[in-house]
Structure 1
Amino acid sequence: MRQISPIIINKKILLQQKIIKLKKQKNAVILAHYYQLPEIQEIADFVGDSLELSRKAAETEAEIIVFAGVYFMAETAKILNFNKKVLVPDVNAGCSLADGCPPDKFREFLKDYPNHKVVTYINCSAEIKTMSDYVCTSSNAVKVINSIPKEDKIVFAPDKNLGNYLIKETGREMVLWNGSCVVHEAFSLEKLIDLYQKNPDAVIVAHPESETHILKTAHYIGSTSGMINYIKSSPEIKFIIATESGILHKMKHEVPHKTLIPAPSKEDNSCACSECAFMKMNTLEKIYNCLLNEFPEVKLDRNLVDKARIPIEKMLQC
């Protein structure tokens, strides 16, 4: 096993201490997604999935929000806290789902479905949210769809995999935007079957952004927080995890006595698992610098915020 240099460890601890001191001085809060690097999760005030982080952003009394995740998450925090300063460690930390649904093309797409309710997954830009009747996360997507009157037609965007899962779960017909998450489409079915054959006592858990053939193998399908809660409450002791590997840090703390195996990706990489390159763009150094300099800052037009807030508020009520 490769040993980590004491110098690197000491540098990490020193940076963490500086960040903690600085956020107290500036009345700041750090929100981090489960997919962030372990050292970032360790200094965050709250670690969660998109829905949990949105709720924390809406509730915080801090003057400054540092969002360690990807850009659309920080936009959501700004929409819910227009008068507060929202900072991002790296403005280029994007999302394949958000990037794959450009506002101009989505606006043209919707012209073909004028009588449909528009439901968008939170993994989209603030401008896309202004075109939405409802916003949802993987945690409450089924509740959101079920809350829409049966007679209403639905457009769901941008994740076709989550959309197909919701069609199966709710029985509703929906028009789907052709988008997907590169991380959750990176799992290899062949390798997963081979891994399961070597671990027949394992329980496969998967995120609903995964492709249908991966979901068909899963014993449990749920959001990141849903998977954590399921594994905590399950009597089983071995699990294969089909989502971004960053979640393993939190899971190992919650269930140190259980065996957690990352589902294998199609690519041959060092961890043999699926990682989000965007999520991993954030570092302790970038968090420290953005808090110290209060930059980069998320800035949104007030009119856009007012429109985008309406479907987000509906999401928070589910």
Structure 2
Amino acid sequence: MNGALTTAASLYDRVRRVIPPIEWPAFCDDIDGILSLKRERNAVILAHNYQTPEIFHCVADIVGDSLALARKAMSVDAEVIVLAGVHFMAETAKLLNPGKTVLIPDLGAGCSLADSITASDVRLMRQRYPGVPVVTYVNTSATVKAESDICCTSGNALAVVESLGVPRVIMLPDEYLAKNIAAQTKVEIIAWKGHCEVHERFTPADIRELREAYPNVKVLAHPECPPEVVASADFSGSTAAMSDYVGRHKPARVVMMTECSMSDNVAIDHPEVEFVRPCNLCPHMKRITLANIRAALEQNRYIVAIDPEVAERARCAVERMLFL
């Protein structure tokens, strides 16, 4: 987004299908403030697919899933990066841009998956399974990444697992992602018991009810959903893969079994598709707002810092993934 040529007034057409006109004036002052601050501070905003439309489509410069944000963060030409997402994503941006200032607008924007495992847990797993490589989902802290051999995202997990050329791997921390990948490979996968609080709540019963209520609906499920949900869906993939599916197939009616804002953000680009929205809200993603993005840029808060020794090892695990 070229903040020098854009104002809030010119952006409403972009989001009018998902933001009612009566709500728009409440966003305008912060949007104009953020666009101005980005120019003043040579800053960019990276926004995850789960951010609300006024962030995703109106102030973000780079958008995408965890893999896309990780890749694009490496080539950011800015002095300041604001991560509109959760804390582990901001840490990953800092790992890949050690010389830049990385800000997270709310320190409470965490992740149930990241909270489900610690560095000492990984060390104990290595003791229990000596010699077995550790594949760690990017939805983890830098300290956990530092104990790992390689990272993965939901979009490249299968490729990462099979790239190692070994008969079995430890895959942390999402149990359901591990089981869904295990169903696609001959590699034995040793899983952890972490779950995403958004995706673990979806059930096959939800899908049955949707199919009864909305004939011919296409059901897309994130691979963090339980395996029985993935098996009941028409397609399973990362948020980027789900978005690509809609663009390629243009189903008349679709439901995304993932976080609420995902459907709104994809719907803007596909007005011909009816989006059914029985989603689950991520309370952590929703801690990021226009107001605290603006405050982050105004007050230089909150700066993401990682212990250098941890950062060096964690960066290696992330870069191994990116340069596969």
TM-score, normalized by length of structure 2? 0.91
1:289 to 284, 287, 295: 295
Please give the residue correspondences for 1:57-68 in structure 2 after superposition, counting only pairs within 5 Å: 57-68=73-84
Provide the aligned length of Structure 1 versus Structure 2.
305
2:13 aligned residue:
none
CA RMSD of aligned residues (A): 1.4
Alpha-carbon displacement from aligned partner over 1:100-129 (angstroms, at most 9, x marks no partner): 112223322321012100000000000000
* Amino acid in the other structure paired with 2:128: D
* Structure 1 residue 191: Cα displacement: 2.9
Alpha-carbon displacement from aligned partner over 1:2-51 (angstroms, at most 9, x marks no partner): x9684x53231111011011011100000000101111112100110000
1:11 aligned residue:
26
Q: Counterparts of 1:204 and 1:191 in 2: how far apart (Å)?
A: 10
Please give the residue correspondences for 1:7-156 in structure 2 after superposition, counting only pairs within 5 Å: 9-41=24-56, 42-151=58-167, 153-156=168-171
1:215 aligned residue:
230
2:9 aligned residue:
none
1:247 aligned residue:
262
2:7 aligned residue:
none
Contact 2:207 2:233 in 1 (8 A): no
Q: Counterparts of 1:214 and 1:22 in 2: how far apart (Å)?
A: 43
Contact 2:103 2:296 in 1 (8 A): yes
* Amino acid in the other structure paired with 2:66: S
* Structure 1 residue 172: Cα displacement: 1.2
Contact 2:203 2:226 in 1 (8 A): no
Q: Counterparts of 1:44 and 1:285 in 2: how far apart (Å)?
A: 14
* Structure 1 residue 171: Cα displacement: 2.0
**Do the aligned partners of residues 253 and 5 (structure 1) sit closer, same or farther apart at CA in structure 2, a change above 3 Å counting?**
closer
2:181 to 136, 159, 166: 166
1:268 aligned residue:
none
Q: Which runs of 5+ in 1 are unaligned?
A: 265-272
Q: Counterparts of 1:107 and 1:61 in 2: how far apart (Å)?
A: 37
Contact 2:117 2:173 in 1 (8 A): yes
Alpha-carbon displacement from aligned partner over 1:259-315 (angstroms, at most 9, x marks no partner): 1112x4xxxxxxxx2010000011111000011111110011111111111111111
Q: Which stretches of structure 1, 4 residues or more, deviate above 6 A after TM superposition?
A: none
Q: Which runs of 5+ in 2 are unaligned?
A: 1-18
1:267 aligned residue:
none
Q: Counterparts of 1:175 and 1:305 in 2: how far apart (Å)?
A: 26
Contact 2:133 2:169 in 1 (8 A): yes
1:300 to 301, 306, 317: 306
- Percent sequence identity over aligned pairs: 38
Contact 2:207 2:219 in 1 (8 A): no
* Amino acid in the other structure paired with 2:189: M
2:16 aligned residue:
none
**Do the aligned partners of residues 133 and 67 (structure 1) sit closer, same or farther apart at CA in structure 2, a change above 3 Å counting?**
same
Q: Counterparts of 1:10 and 1:205 in 2: how far apart (Å)?
A: 34
Contact 2:44 2:61 in 1 (8 A): yes
**Do the aligned partners of residues 114 and 150 (structure 1) sit closer, same or farther apart at CA in structure 2, a change above 3 Å counting?**
closer
* Structure 1 residue 186 corresponds to structure 2 residue 192: no
